[in-house]
Every structure is written in C-alpha cells, then in structure tokens.
Amino acid sequence: MSFDFFAPCPRGLEAPLAAELAEIAQRRLPPGALQLGADVPGGVHFRGNWAGGMAANLHSRIASRVLLKIAQRPYRGEQDIYALAREQQWEKWFSPNETIRIDITAIKSPLRSLEFATLRVKDAICDRMRDKAGARPSVDTAYPDVRVFAFLTANDCTLYLDTSGEPLFKRGWRLDKGAAPLRENLAAGILRLTGWTPEMPLYDPMCGSGTFLAEAAQVALDIAPGLSRSFGFERLKQADTAAWRHLKSEANTLRNSAMSRATDLHIFGSDISDVMLEKARANFARAGLGKVPLKQLDARNMTPPAVGNGVLVANPPYGERIEVRGRNARGEARAPREMRDDYEEQEAFRRVHTDAPDAEFFQALGDALKQRFTGWRAFFLTSDRKLPGQLRLREAAKTPLFNGALECRLFRFDLIAGSVRQRPASAGQDVAAGKNPGSADQNS
Ligand SMILES: C[S@@+](CC[C@H](N)C(=O)[O-])C[C@H]1O[C@@H](n2cnc3c(N)ncnc32)[C@H](O)[C@@H]1O
C-alpha cells in the first residue's frame, strides 16, 4: 500500500531535507519505497509505503515530523471541514481508547476562528468513532496517542495523521532540564549546509549543550537519530510492524558496529560555561557518544583543535548584549547560581543586567579566526545581521533560516590563506554575499 506523506522542516532547510530523504531512499530502502515529491516552503512531499514513512521517521535528522495524508478537498467554511473529517475511516487507524489531539495550521484561510475549526475536526472524528466503533476518543492535548493535523489554504483543507508523535527533533537522549536554544533538526540541517563530512575536523567554540557536536557525531557513526525514541505510527492499527522490526534491527546493528569506531571522530567543542559543558557531557553520555573532547575556553582564545582544514560552526548568543565572562571589567551582574542551568533564563537576565558591548567580543573572535584558522570555513547562525561587520570579515554566503519563529542568517566565512576578506566595522550590514545562499555553493 502506498501513501502520500509530507515532512515539515524548519524554514530554509527544504532543499537539505529533500537531499536527505533521497539518500534515505537510496541507502535504507528497497527501490520504490520512498519516492520524492516537490519541496515547498516549510517541507517536502514524498510518496511511499509504510517502510518509506517509517524510515523517514527513523533516519531523517532534518524533518520535524512525518505526516500521512488522509484526505484533501476544497472548503468554504467550518461545515465543509467537519464533513470532510466525518467521512474519513478513522476507526481503521485507531480505537476509541486512544486519546487524540487536533492541530490546525492555515495560510490565507478565510476562516475567522481556527479554534472553532479545530473543534469541528475533533467533533467530526468523535462523531464518526461513536457511530462506527461505539465510543468516542478523549482529547489529550499534552500526551495524545494520536495526532491529527489539518492544513488550510485559501481553498483547500488537507487532513493528515501524524506518524511521528513527539516532534522528530526530540531524539530521546537530551536531558529535559536546561532548555537548549538550538533544535536538533536545525543543527543537523546546518551541518549539511556547511558541507562538513566526517573526515574533516569540526569545531564548535560556543558549544553550549552540544547540539551541533552530538548531531555530527551521530552522522559520523551512522547512528539513526530516532533509534532511542518511539513514534506515533507504533500506535496506529495499520502500521506494518514487520517492516518496522526490520528497519529498527538494521539501525541497531549499524549503531553497535559504529561504537567500536568511536575513537575516529574529529569533532571538538568548547564553551566558556562549565555548566553548559556539564550538560553537553551528560547529553553525549545518554546518546552513547562518550568520546567528544570538550574544553572550557573563552572563544576569543580558541585555536584549531586538529590538524587540517576544518569546519567551525556555532550559534553565538543572540541579542545585542553579551556577557563576556572572565573579562567583565565593568563588573556587570551575573546570573545567580540557581539560574545558571537554564540558558534562556540566563540570556534574558544578561540582556537586562549587563552592559558589555558585543563589539569587543566579536572583534576579538574575528581576529582569532583570521590569525589562527587559515584554511577553515566558519559558519555562524545568528539573528544579528551585523555579525560580519562585528567580526570584521566579509561573508562568503548567507543563508536565511528560521530558528522557531526567529529569522536568522547562517553566515559563512572562508578563511583562505592570504585572502581573508576583511570588512570594516562600518560596512553596510546586508552587503550581498556574491553567491547564492543555500547548499549548492557551500563547498566552493
Ligand atoms: C546560543 S548558545 C549555544 C547553544 C548551543 N549551540 C547548544 O546547542 O546548546 C551560546 C553559547 O555561547 C557560550 N558563550 C558565551 N560567551 C562565550 C565566550 N566568551 N566564549 C565561549 N563561549 C561563550 C554560552 O555559554 C552558550 O553556551
């Protein structure tokens, strides 16, 4: 049996996701199990059988979810949406004992209230189940067994069953405490955009809880990102359990053989915060990635951690203020100890309580890049368009990406011997990169 799937992803990562899905089809599946469709803003369509949908869940590092299309039809109002949902054979997918949650996203929908439309989809599913299965499912918005998504455009309503459950950036190994600002699937997509491959050194000098490093280590070791978690499709009646057992057992075999190669990683991290490094170590341990070397270091003092031209990637603290620890001559306030294990809380605190300009920190960081990282390519994800000016480096490329709702740029700097492109701090912040953003030119 074949289905239409849609894999949403962080905006800006559609092309890397399409490339990744093509690789999954080629490396993990028999021919025809996953056939790529169009990539559209916010995700990629594909067609496939159960194994295709399951493999996308298990192996995609970039997708946020994998949604299975149930129905699509033009609509004008809530009643049309109710009728479409009421006609679907939900009883074939789950029983009334399962709890449900409905989510609606809309682009240019004429409807006035999406909440009301959500209620109508819920009513339709419950009415159908009461008729056909003798009881209605309960709603659980926090931990539902089954999630239904409705996507509304100006004219069409599409209903999807979510085969992922929890979003796919939740790999199952991150410690909950101390929210990490960077989602795993965004980090994985950025790694792909950098053109990094496991033979090259990779260094994150502001690694925080280690998201880039953990994602890179899993790529290097060929560890399926979904191996430590469960999926929504495991609760669906029609799911092909034999195909799932096969896919999982293959991925387990790969992981077990990868563990013996763990010493070959060329992945390095440092951060000024010992608290963040503790978190990174705990995360690596839970993910079975014990051998990523980490150092407590001010990024201004960084040196290449390995011989050879590598890739440096980081998302420096956002915002116009940064606390530069260890050189805070003005003695600005620091977050109290009990606050220091929550990064976002710390950042909010710093913005309010510190007055140290970014400029000095980023200028010193730029100097470190120019003086010590010849031959490397550096990538910074930030919402601050002034970053190249602050580093005094001219970017080779800039790729628009969204970190949640926050519009960011992934700036690339090529630190080529004798030709590092200097840029005065006063240069306009949005000077064109001279090359298209995106993955195509990332290795040039
Ligand atoms: C936005 S966070 C990076 C988050 C990280 N990508 C993760 O996955 O958790 C920025 C990091 O920069 C670190 N940082 C701030 N000032 C620094 C400095 N002077 N040198 C090195 N790291 C610094 C912070 O401790 C924080 O962990």
Give residue 404's pLDDT: 84
Cα of 113 vs centre of ligand 1, distance in Å, is 41
Give residue 422's pLDDT: 62
For ligand 1, what atom is nearest to the CA of residue 361?
A: 19
Domain membership flag for residue 434: no
Pick the residue whose CA is nearest to atom 1 on ligand 1. Answer: 317
Q: How far apart are CA 28 and CA 182, in angstroms?
A: 28
Same domain, 7 and 74: yes
Ramachandran quadrant class, 430 (left: phi over 0; alpha: psi -120 to 50; beta: rest): alpha
User: What Å distances lie between residue 82 and 73, 89, 93, 117, 162, CA to CA?
Assistant: 12, 14, 18, 8, 19
Identify residue 366 by its one-letter amino acid code.
G
Domain membership flag for residue 253: no
Which is it for strands 377-382 and 311-314: parallel, antiparallel or unpaired?
Answer: parallel
Give residue 416's pLDDT: 84
Give residue 332's pLDDT: 41
Same domain, 351 and 206: yes
Give residue 257's pLDDT: 85
Question: Residues near 85 by Cβ (< 8 Å), separated by ≥ 6?
Answer: 120, 121, 124, 125, 128, 150, 159
Question: Residues near 285 by Cβ (< 8 Å), separated by ≥ 6?
Answer: none
Q: For a substitution probing ligand 1, which of 194, 212, 272 has the most ligand atoms within 8 Å of its CB?
A: 272
Same domain, 7 and 101: yes
Pick the residue whose CA is nearest to atom 26 on ligand 1. Answer: 208
- Count how many domains the chain has: 2
Cα of 168 vs centre of ligand 1, distance in Å, is 24
Q: How far apart are CA 357 and CA 382, in angstroms?
A: 16
Same domain, 336 and 390: yes
Smallest CA-to-CA distance from 232 within 431, 5, 2, 1 is with: 5
Give residue 261's pLDDT: 61
Same domain, 200 and 335: yes
Pick the residue whose CA is nearest to atom 17 on ligand 1. Answer: 272
Cα of 183 vs centre of ligand 1, distance in Å, is 15
Domain membership flag for residue 243: no
Pick the residue whose CA is nearest to atom 5 on ligand 1. Answer: 208
Same domain, 39 and 143: yes
Q: How far apart are CA 267 and CA 213, in angstroms?
A: 7
Cα of 310 vs centre of ligand 1, distance in Å, is 20
The CATH number of the domain holding residue 283 is 3.40.50.150
Cα of 316 vs centre of ligand 1, distance in Å, is 6
Q: How far apart are CA 429 and CA 317, in angstroms?
A: 18
Which is it for strands 100-106 and 146-152: parallel, antiparallel or unpaired?
Answer: parallel
For ligand 1, what atom is nearest to the CA of residue 323?
A: 16
* pLDDT of the chain, 444 residues: tens digit per residue: 899 999 999 999 999 999 999 999 999 999 999 999 999 999 999 999 999 999 999 999 999 999 999 999 999 999 999 999 999 999 999 999 999 999 999 999 999 999 999 999 999 999 999 999 999 999 999 999 999 999 999 999 999 999 999 999 999 888 744 444 689 999 999 999 999 999 999 999 999 999 999 999 999 999 999 999 999 999 999 899 999 999 999 999 998 887 766 567 899 999 999 999 999 999 999 888 877 899 999 999 999 999 989 999 999 986 533 454 534 434 344 444 444 444 444 554 444 444 345 789 999 999 999 999 999 999 999 999 999 999 999 999 999 999 888 899 999 999 987 656 566 555 433 333 333 333 323 222
DSSP letters spanning 385-429: TTHHHHHTB--SEEEEEEETTEEEEEEEEE--TT---B--TTS-T
User: What Å distances lie between residue 363 and 241, 368, 389, 426, CA to CA?
Assistant: 55, 9, 9, 13
Give residue 172's pLDDT: 86
Same domain, 197 and 143: no
Crossing angle between the packed helical segments 14-28 and 184-194, to the nearest 10 degrees: 90
* Residues whose beta carbon lies within 6 Å of some atom of ligand 1: 180-182, 205-212, 271-273, 276, 298-299, 315-317, 324
Give the domain extent around 66.
Answer: 3-162
Domain membership flag for residue 244: no
Smallest CA-to-CA distance from 5 within 42, 36, 30, 28 is with: 36
The CATH number of the domain holding residue 9 is 3.30.2130.30
Same domain, 281 and 316: yes
- Cβ distance 159 to 6 under 8 Å? no
Identify residue 31 by its one-letter amino acid code.
P
Cα of 208 vs centre of ligand 1, distance in Å, is 5
Cα of 347 vs centre of ligand 1, distance in Å, is 10
Pick the residue whose CA is nearest to atom 27 on ligand 1. Answer: 208
Domain membership flag for residue 246: no
Same domain, 378 and 312: yes
Cα of 309 vs centre of ligand 1, distance in Å, is 23
Q: How far apart are CA 79 and CA 81, in angstroms?
A: 5
Q: How far apart are CA 242 and CA 253, in angstroms?
A: 17
Same domain, 199 and 82: no
CA 149 to chain centre: 20
Pick the residue whose CA is nearest to atom 13 on ligand 1. Answer: 206
